[in-house]
Structure 1
């Protein structure tokens, strides 16, 4: 007499935790903050393990469930973030992440779990994340889930509570905004050459050379978070931006400019006495810099400072 089938077995802990890296990458692209992304991942797993075992077994696709729940948490977080950032001192910029195998979400070097790594590609460039900050939360979620993570609109509809057709329009709107705000910027090699010339102009104090590297309508934004002195508003125009940058160099003559990849794109770190005090990312188009993003808020420099106290 055959043994009757028992209850369906749920996913193993190993299979669930294997999804952690995907969820962390999803959260960072949604929120622009590693710390917030980690909080989303923890909350997602907490909701899973808070369910009775029978309820877990009834979920046909646990990994898809984790992605859907994490996306909903991100959507709620994005809605509340608008209010919090209205109280933020000065400009709010995404938290930069660094290239190389040493980088993990906790900022620790060596021996870290690969599940804690942020995968670097065009979807996490500083320019991309800044534009994503300017669109609606629903547009951002629909775009990231579909264009970056390949989720079908039928599943996205369950996450954002709209029809698949509406989600398709949301993603399309985000795509148009990105295409308008971020034209093709050339090759990484061209970008790196401009960054190198920019560093040399700043170090030598060559105003003419620096101005020549900047787009006439270049915009510089700084994020000090009220913890470090920084320009509270965007600085626009190549002459103003060049004088601002050279003024900073004159005030801190002992700083060192180091070329470094920021969010997978050639950028720069600013070091003083061997410690990173700022990270500079930039967009380059047709051989000139169109945008500069200077992050000096120490709470956003954990990838370079190795401080995992956050």
Structure 2
């Protein structure tokens, strides 16, 4: 037993010595970027984001690259720093300011997500579709494709940039609408309007074809909840006149599912009415006023 104790003490001493030597050997190794060792000195952009988003709304905006905020299986690029402030400024003008104007600051602070993560590129999926935004538990929104964001106040802006900018606003309105309906569920009557027409094959259907069955976009065909928030987002981004044009653009004849032009238009109008009544009954928000002001803000930025 005496020899066993001596052996154990010697072995323990050897282990401590080995650990000490390993620490000495690793003392000069640099942290691997992206694995938690990165540091940077906050600059003017960080101060601006803090004053513009964090102080008034308790929203943190993360633009410095961190792969682990995203799906690690995706190939993405960081956002260019020069697009961050214009994008956030535009999002504030279109989304934050108009919701606060209609529903009040308490409403917005209560329901708004608290963490924005920005990616410069889109996230491509295996089925050929792209993810332009995601929301996690009503707290975190991931925004993609920021490097293609240009409004008329930015160098190099062209009319062709409007589609991408509108799509980013679309994502914000879409994800925020999810938070609202997950807090107070939309009426069950909404689910009945297009019952039997929802499909997982939506990505192979054009928006124009989806509208023949009473869907505002093809993605709205994926399920009832996506249908509801797509209605909200498209109505806000396109405005009343733009939504009316979508409804009136449905051609005469029948869809592949047998829906007539009259049926498709009536379904979209029924959904519109439910959205408007839902906002009033659930949050005391005048949706048409919110829609009008949101569209005005977009026009000011893009046209």
User: Same-fold call, TM > 0.5?
Assistant: no
More strand by share: 1
More helix by share: 2
The structure whose Rg is larger is 2
- TM-score tier (shorter): under 0.3
Larger relative contact order (Cα-Cα within 8 Å, sequence gap ≥ 6): 1
